[in-house]
Structure 1
Amino acid sequence: MLDRWVNIFFSLALVFVFILFGDSQQHNQILFGLFLAALLSITAFILNWLTIDGASSATIFGGFAYGLGGLAGAAVVLAFFISGSVLSKDLISREGFLEKKFRRNGKQVWSNGFWFVLWILIWFLTDVDAFLIGAVTSIATAASDTWATEIGENRLKGKTRLITTGEKVQPGTDGGISFYGTVAALTGAAFIAAVFWFFAIDAMLSTILIIAITGFFGSLIDSYIGARFQNVAYSLSGLSSIGLENMYVSNNFVNWISAGLASVISLILILIIGV
């Protein structure tokens, strides 16, 4: 349900931008971005990579990525989504059929893409490049976490220790980190930074390093929050006023908060350093 409200909010925001801002060239870019995103989302649904609600969320997400973020924004999002989907798609043969592990739904799309779309929107309205860097950093964090999970936990299973206490745990434990997973996390963040550097004409090396390092740090934040708070329901005052009895900290929420924190840290660094 929450992902539908996010869909509505960002859809209205895109309509607002289309009507009140930009010239005909930018209008065409937004329309083409939506068309391309819809085409790719339908393809992902057919390939069993997205659910129906995931495809609708990805269409809006992709519309912002190219419509407002241009070629560099679209390239970063495609690099994350394709690499994450390929790493996640272990094909398993059962009775002559090939089954795929899972489909991403709308909540999973927005847990990784919410901050990117928000910062891209603010960047488009303000023309302050720090927000663009924050947007890319949020995707670098998502890629870092995804690569760490798929490689460090599902492919190259090594000794895993809890990030909070250092005790040995089974691969896949919330908050567990390993050597292979850490290397994969750093590689994933660096990969997104490199893609952005390739497509962003005027990107400085110092900016790319901030994206890669902060994105990797974001995956560590994700592990820490996962170890401390994930899969627990918390009772908070005021929740009853909006019809909730408690707040459950899911993996999607952990991904969302860690991407947000990492992107804010990159914003602060960019503003302080002035690159």
Structure 2
Amino acid sequence: MTILAYKLSLGFIVGCLIGSFSYITYLLTKSGALATIVIATIVCGFGSWPTWGILLLFFGSSGYIHIAKKVRNIVKVERLTEKGHTRDAWQVLANSLPAVISLVLFYYTQNQLFMIGYVSGIAGATADTWGSEIGILSKTVPRSIVSFKQIAPGLSGGVSTLGSIASVCGSLLITFTFWLFSGRLYVNPFPTSLMVILPFILGVANSLVDSVLGATLQIKYRCIICGQQTEQRYHHLHLTKPISGISWLSNDWVNFFSGCLTVLLSWFILYFLQQ
């Protein structure tokens, strides 16, 4: 318990530093910074330095992409998406909570399927974030993953070649980094190849599932002034008109459900492999 308290305290301190920096640089809102502190405290307390490292890699790479886009003055997307680039608490928790729950379960059970579930969840969040954030920089117009029709850049459900490549790279980065630095810490009953391949595949699948849910079930609106399809309830200072999707299913819920599905699927696959 002494070690756990020490690690929780260390995670809280580091989380405060990361949250404060992210708030000052407009990467996070106040609520987003507080959520980051909570997540950082839990991961540092219940995990090891490789689990902490891939979480930092996820947040750090996302922040770097945001800054790079800001330098290139990518602002048109914020007029269509539900929220801007500055992430709030719901966005932070939607992307990280399913994986963090799996990590806590590993701490109490020492069952490796929960550790791989954690890695799969972070890989999925990274793949989705890289895919959407980098995909916006594509010079080609994205297409709906369901209808294959061209849609406005930034709208949920759109895919592009650049975004797809970014998703693959994001998932691979998290999976390979964890495998590279965790080999000596865990006695794993699964083949090494499975530790890399499964989280990588599930990470990429997470971004695809997120796009499908975003294209089919996520709420979409249309501006009554300009006629533009958007994810915002207000556009040009007027209330927008719902045109498709489930009324309460926002992009945050889509991210959360995609993450849950990724983690649960990793548990399901590895459970049957253990039998």
| TM-score under structure 1 length normalisation | 0.79
Gaps of 5+ in 1: 1-22, 95-100, 234-245
Q: Does structure 1 retain, via aligned residues, the 8 Å contact 2:27–2:66?
A: no
Residue 41 (structure 1) aligned to one of 9, 14, 19: 19
What CA distance in whole angstroms lies between the structure 1 residues aligned with 2:250 and 2:42? Answer: 26
CA shift, 1:247, in A, is: 5.0
Residue 224 (structure 1) aligned to one of 198, 201, 212: 212
Letter matched to residue 91 of structure 1: K
More helix by share: 1
Residue 91 (structure 1) aligned to one of 70, 73, 91: 70
Q: Which has the higher contact order (CA 8 A, sep 6+)?
A: 2
C-alpha offsets along residues 75-117 of structure 1, whole Å, 9 cap, x if unaligned?
Answer: 11100001011112223599xxxxxx73211111101011122
Gaps of 5+ in 2: 74-83, 222-245
Q: Does structure 2 retain, via aligned residues, the 8 Å contact 1:148–1:184?
A: yes
Letter matched to residue 26 of structure 1: L
Distance change in 2, residues 1:92/1:182 (3 Å): closer
CA shift, 1:232, in A, is: 5.2
Letter matched to residue 51 of structure 2: G
Question: What is the number of equivalent residue pairs in this alignment?
Answer: 234
Q: Does structure 2 retain, via aligned residues, the 8 Å contact 1:107–1:252?
A: yes
Provide the secondary structure at the position in 2 that maps to 1:168: coil
Letter matched to residue 121 of structure 2: S
Answer with 170-179 or 49-58: which moved more.
170-179
Provide the secondary structure at the position in 2 that maps to 1:248: coil
After the TM superposition, which parts of structure 1 deviate over 4 Å for at least 4 consecutive aligned residues? none
| TM-score under structure 2 length normalisation | 0.79
Distance change in 2, residues 1:84/1:232 (3 Å): same
CA shift, 1:27, in A, is: 2.5
C-alpha offsets along residues 47-73 of structure 1, whole Å, 9 cap, x if unaligned?
Answer: 221111111110010011111111011
User: Does the alignment pair 1:55 with 2:33?
Assistant: yes
Match of 2:5 in 1: 27
User: Does the alignment pair 1:195 with 2:174?
Assistant: no
